[in-house]
Structure 1
């Protein structure tokens, strides 16, 4: 699959880049994408710290008072939740929000997420992310010329280009990630996917390696 490489520089020479059909040319499947997104969101969830309930409290189980005639309520032991130091009634419990998902399914989901933008025509490949003076106003004008959607995810190589990261910091509709951080949820959440040539090389090496 050939894609035209675009640039912020209007005078730059137009070239094409060849994208691997095994990564950018797949037919997206909703069931695979759903499984991967669900797995991602479940892994993000945090669990509460477990509280000690009645059976966890280290106290004597001996009946501390007589059944009748004591003038107080009848209790079997001091572990009851009504006592200071007793077990918590219906307390928070540690829950496991980390379901397993096969690595092959996770890799296939990422390929399909990339392919979904390529098939929809919302994939843009840039030669470089350098922004003059690291200005948000300059970047906003450059993005308008390239026809970005309402929201865009920009993925660079090993690290996001500094001037672009600084300029995009004040633009709420632009999110940036290094190639190693590419994931299905963020890719699908944005209207436009922007890859640098370095990002394309890293992603293809990631799947072919």
Structure 2
């Protein structure tokens, strides 16, 4: 499919780029998308949660009352989970939530997500993007010119640009990544994806394998 190339002011340059059908025109695989997003979210979890069990509680080890004659149930330890301040039964322990996915499946997931965005006309292509200094107002002006202010937007650069990244950092609804940092979750989390023309070649070469 063809997409018009815009300049930094949001005006058409008169040129068009052809998005590869092998990347932006595949039949979306929803299960691959689900697995890739699940892995991304799992990798964000620190897994440092911990609750003390009865063996880890500090407290007396003496038998708290005699075995018989109290009229209540037998009780041997103040650290028992049935008492206030006792250990927790089957509490959370530190663990690693990450899991492995095949590279082919992850590529299919990204292509599926990009194809959905292309089908919904949520992809923009800009010829170049560069700021003389890192200022948030420059990025806000860019969003206004592109007509995507107030929407979640993902800008994909061919290579890192510190001024562009720093200009977007204070904006909650905008994110800047390089083509190598593109993930299925980031694609789906954005309402619009803005590609720099220079980033398309790298994306298509990486995902069309």
Distance 1:157 1:93, change over 3 A: same
Taking the aligned partners of 1:52 and 1:151, their CA distance within structure 2 comes to: 41
1:37 Cα deviation after fit: 1.0
Q: Paired residue for 1:113? A: 113
Q: Secondary structure in 1 aligned to 2:31? A: helix
TM-score in terms of structure 2 length: 0.74
Q: Paired residue for 1:154? A: 155
Q: Secondary structure in 2 aligned to 1:145? A: helix
Taking the aligned partners of 2:171 and 2:103, their CA distance within structure 1 comes to: 34
Q: Secondary structure in 2 aligned to 1:193? A: strand
Q: Which shows bigger deviation, 42-51 or 170-179? A: 42-51
CA deviation vs aligned residue, 1:25-62 (integer Å, no higher than 9, x gap): 12323333222211221222222377886789xxxxxx
Aligned residues: 205
Stretches of structure 1 lacking an aligned partner (at least 5 in a row): 57-66, 68-73, 82-87
Matches within 5 A, 1:75-94: 90=89, 92=91, 94=93
Answer yes or no: is the 8 Å Cα contact 2:10–2:145 preserved in 1. Answer: no
Q: Paired residue for 2:61? A: none
Distance 1:138 1:155, change over 3 A: same
Matches within 5 A, 1:170-181: 170-181=170-181
Distance 1:126 1:49, change over 3 A: same
Q: Paired residue for 1:85? A: none
CA deviation vs aligned residue, 1:104-134 (integer Å, no higher than 9, x gap): 2211000111111111111011111113544
Answer yes or no: is the 8 Å Cα contact 1:3–1:18 preserved in 2. Answer: yes
What's the C-alpha RMSD, in Å, of the aligned pairs? 3.8
Q: Paired residue for 2:30? A: 30
Matches within 5 A, 1:24-103: 24-48=24-48, 90=89, 92=91, 94=93, 95-103=95-103
Q: Paired residue for 1:141? A: 141
Stretches of structure 2 lacking an aligned partner (at least 5 in a row): 57-66, 68-73, 82-86
Distance 1:182 1:54, change over 3 A: same
Distance 1:91 1:124, change over 3 A: same
TM-score in terms of structure 1 length: 0.74
1:195 Cα deviation after fit: 1.0
Q: Secondary structure in 2 aligned to 1:48? A: coil
